[in-house]
Amino acid sequence: MVKATVLFVSLLCFCFALYGCKGCLEEERIALLQLWDSFSPPFSSAIDFKWEGDNCCEWTFVQCHLFNSTDRVVLIDLSYRFDYITSYRLDFIGKWYPNASLFTHFRELQTLHLHGNNIGGWIMPEALCELRNLKVLTLGMNSLDDGGFTKCLASGLPFLEKLSLWGNSLNLSSPLLSALCGLRNLRVLDLSHNVLSNGSFPICMLGTFSSLERLSLQNFTLEQSPNALTALQGARNLRHLDLRYNNLSDGSLKALCGAIRNLKTLHLGYCNLNLERIPSCPQPSHSYLEKLFLKHTFTKGSHPLLIKGKYYTPL
């Protein structure tokens, strides 16, 4: 009985010394506090949403999961941290560059949300490649420049399945997108509401996305990126494609024939298409198409019923 008591007390002491017995690692708790301070604007303490308590797994914007009897942080959401003083950051601070090494303390991190923080890039950007278990990364509404990602991203994030870069200050560069080449397990990619700064779409990016199932290119100004849809031909498992709010050229429309042979859902709303200029596609390449959205798609005088037999066969 005495031995059992001593053992129990020893385990408690070990637990307290190593983890604090608070449900999360002390290393992760300290790193989260550093992140919170890093993503907090100056003079914001009076209105800050402070994370309180020693158990970081109970803090807002954090989720944990049990690994080997220890709670580890698996989700961090720091989206729109400056939303309530957005004008202050944009007018007085502008783009900023967080230290990516702060995220390396979370070895089991699977989801990272960083929308709307006007991030231009990173201090120690190669540290992002150490997030080996990351599955979801959302960086929409930021201002990522050419150095926003490093070339090690594909090898460093082998399990990344979802990436969002929508609304990146309406400016995406080819070097930035080229860093995404080789993300072979990526299933969902959102590049909506962007403009390619040099008009060149890196073919290698989508050519290696063998697992890509869902792609959103809403308002992507595809007329300035004529090779974008051609690059889709490498995405053999693509099932859902959103091209709303684009002025599609004749070349882009022809590229659709070879790019979406396994597609189930296609959004072409608000594309201002002239039906007479839509090419007829071989029916076998569209045998899986189930949903075709054409809201406000055609120019005056075009009749949407005429598209039957060109892009799909009515049931």
pLDDT in tens, 178-217: 888 889 899 999 999 988 876 667 877 766 788 999 999 9
User: Which tokens sit at 293?
Assistant: 């959205």
Give the pLDDT confidence score for residue 53 in this predicted structure. 76
Q: What is the DSSP letter of 213?
A: -
What pTM was computed for the model? 0.84
**Together in a domain, 146 and 262:** no
Rounded CA separation 159/66 (Å): 19
Confidence category of residue 130, pLDDT binned at 50, 70, 90? very high
User: Which tokens sit at 48?
Assistant: 């800050």
Distances (CA, A) of 311 to 82, 125, 184, 246: 45, 44, 29, 18
DSSP codes, 40-53? S-TT-TTT-----S
**Together in a domain, 29 and 153:** yes
pLDDT in tens, 238-293: 999 999 998 887 667 777 776 667 889 999 898 877 766 666 665 554 568 888 88
Q: Residues of 213-223 as b/e, b for ≥16 C-beta within 10 angstroms?
A: bbbbbbbbbbe
Rounded CA separation 58/56 (Å): 5
User: Is the Cβ–Cβ distance between 246 and 221 less than 8 Å?
Assistant: yes
**Together in a domain, 144 and 213:** no
In a domain, 194, yes or no: yes
CA 94 vs. chain centroid, Å, equals 22
In a domain, 18, yes or no: no
Rounded CA separation 281/94 (Å): 47
- Chosen domain end from 142, 160, 178: 160
User: Is the Cβ–Cβ distance between 41 and 93 less than 8 Å?
Assistant: yes
**Together in a domain, 153 and 208:** no
User: Is the Cβ–Cβ distance between 113 and 77 less than 8 Å?
Assistant: yes
Residues of the chain by 3-state class (helix, strand, coil), percent to 5 = 35, 15, 50
**Together in a domain, 152 and 215:** no
In a domain, 295, yes or no: yes
**Together in a domain, 147 and 203:** no
DSSP codes, 68-126? TTEEEEEEEE-TTTTGGGHHHIIIII-SB--BGGGGGG-TT--EEE-TTS-B---BSGG
In a domain, 274, yes or no: yes
In a domain, 3, yes or no: no
**Together in a domain, 134 and 56:** yes
User: Is the Cβ–Cβ distance between 131 and 109 less than 8 Å?
Assistant: yes
SS3 for 65? Answer: strand
Q: Would you state the torsion angle of the CA atoms of residues 268, 269, 271, 272, taken in this order, to the nearest 10 degrees?
A: 120
In a domain, 238, yes or no: yes
CATH number at residue 78: 3.80.10
pLDDT above 50 (res 5): no
Instruction: Report which of residues 117 and 75 the model is more confident about.
Output: 75
- Chosen domain end from 160, 177, 200: 160
Number of domains in the chain: 2
In a domain, 183, yes or no: no
**Together in a domain, 75 and 35:** yes
Distances (CA, A) of 24 to 59, 75, 92: 11, 13, 36
In a domain, 10, yes or no: no
**Together in a domain, 210 and 99:** no
Amino acid at 282: P
**Together in a domain, 54 and 145:** yes
**Together in a domain, 240 and 135:** no
Q: Which percentage of the chain shows pLDDT scores above 70?
A: 72
Helix (H) or strand (E) holding 197: none
Q: Domain of 207? A: 188-315
**Together in a domain, 34 and 155:** yes
* Residue 134 neighbours by CB under 8 Å, 6+ apart: 109, 110, 111, 112, 157, 159, 160
pLDDT in tens, 59-114: 989 999 998 788 999 999 999 886 544 444 455 567 889 999 999 999 999 999 99
- Chosen domain end from 113, 145, 160: 160
